[in-house]
A and B are shown apart, each in its own frame.
Chain A
Amino acid sequence: MHELPVTESILKMVLESAQKNQAKSVTDITLTIGSLSSIVDDSVQFYWDFVSKGTICENAKLHFNRVVATLKCLDCGTTYSLIEELTPCPSCGSINIIILSGEEFQVDHIEIVKEETNSDETTR
């Protein structure tokens, strides 16, 4: 249930980037959330509507790019996905594994509507 402060962080990051790019409004935000990151996207959406009110992000649509946890067995090389709980390698039973993906938790990109006056300007 730590989605409120997390959603506030998302808003802060998006606002920073939007302002740097002279955005008039933000229409879409794409987030990547790994299944091991213990973030509930429904809660993020719920808090988002609340924290974004009155900002240029109000009404922006949140898109969640969910990443399934992928593990690799270091003994036999099998790569497998975790659908439910953590399990040893399904091929050889080894617990000598590494987590390849599933821990992501980031803002990927946003879609903004620019101020018309300086639409040609690009900021680097």
Chain B
Amino acid sequence: MKQRVEIVKRIMDSNDRLAQNNQAILDQHHIFGINLMASPGAGKTSFILETIKRLPAEIKLGVIEGDTAPVTIDSDKIAAAGIPTVQINTGGECHLDANMIEMALVELPLEELNLIIVENVGNLICPAAFRLGTHANVLIASIPEGDDKPYKYPNIYRGLDVLIINKIDLSPYIEFRMDYFQQGVEMLNPGLQTFALSAKTGGGFDAWIAWLTRKVTAK
């Protein structure tokens, strides 16, 4: 006998439940968590390094580095800056998920931290679907990637809390219609908190650091 069974459940539910657990762990330790996403080459690691340089002394950062291969180039740089770092090798997976974060959190000295930045795998599609349990989804869009990205990858812009526009020092050399870019962002995520900066020159970082400091101290 055939029977129809109604399910009507979001497919990402099981990941989202794990993400909620992660957030509870972070909250318990008064840690503010950031899920940092971007396409490859947008400047995630240099952005983190520049942020480290400018963090006020009371902010104790830990970093979770997601990479598709056991290449420790990024995590070595961050560990060299004296920051507790855990590398997750996703084994070819194009994104981090809540389960990977749960395992990485165990390896960080949570009692000593009040900020964790998760550097997601460089990709504009897959990371958007997987909540990690962090408090803010942050995307770095960089000028050389082009101004059409919100139109091509609407999904990732939908779930953002903060947008970083990186490499603004390259604006004079690259055709990037800021109005067009921001129009796309505004349609998908009205009023999105945005910081335009350059991880190379450090320009524009003050506003970002001020925002971050406010969030961390409020935790």
Q: Which chain A residues have a beta carbon within 8 Å of chain B's beta carbons?
A: 1-2, 5-6, 9-10, 12-14, 17-18, 21, 23, 27, 31, 36-39, 85-86, 88, 95-97, 99, 103, 105-114, 116, 119
Are the C-beta atoms of B187 and A37 separated by less than 8 Å? no
Say whether B8 contacts A109, CB under 8 Å.
yes
Give the complex CA separation of A56 and B120 in angstroms: 35
Task: Point out residues on B near A: beta carbons under 8 Å.
Answer: 1-15, 93-95, 97, 125-126, 128-130, 150-155, 158, 183-184, 186-188, 190
Give the CA-CA distance A79 to B141 in the complex, in Å: 30
> What are some 30 contacts across the A-B interface (CB < 8 A)?
A1-B125, A2-B129, A2-B130, A6-B11, A6-B12, A9-B12, A13-B14, A17-B5, A17-B7, A38-B125, A38-B128, A85-B151, A86-B150, A86-B151, A95-B183, A95-B186, A99-B188, A108-B7, A109-B4, A110-B4, A110-B5, A110-B7, A111-B2, A111-B3, A111-B4, A111-B5, A112-B4, A113-B1, A114-B1, A114-B3
CA distance A116 to B10 in the complex (A): 30
Contact check, A116 vs B129: say whether CB atoms are below 8 A apart.
no
Residues on the B chain within 8 Å of A39, using CB: 129
In the complex, A9→B16 CA distance in Å?
A: 12
Knowing A1-B126, A37-B155 touch, does A9 contact B11 (C-beta < 8 A)? yes
User: CB distance A109 to B6 under 8 Å?
Assistant: yes
Other-chain residue from A36, A105, A108, A113 in contact with B12 (beta carbon distance below 8 A): A105
Distance in angstroms between the alpha carbons of A17 and B11 in the assembled complex:
13
Give bound CA distance, A17 to B12, whole Å. 16
Distance, CA A95 to CA B97, complexed state (A): 32
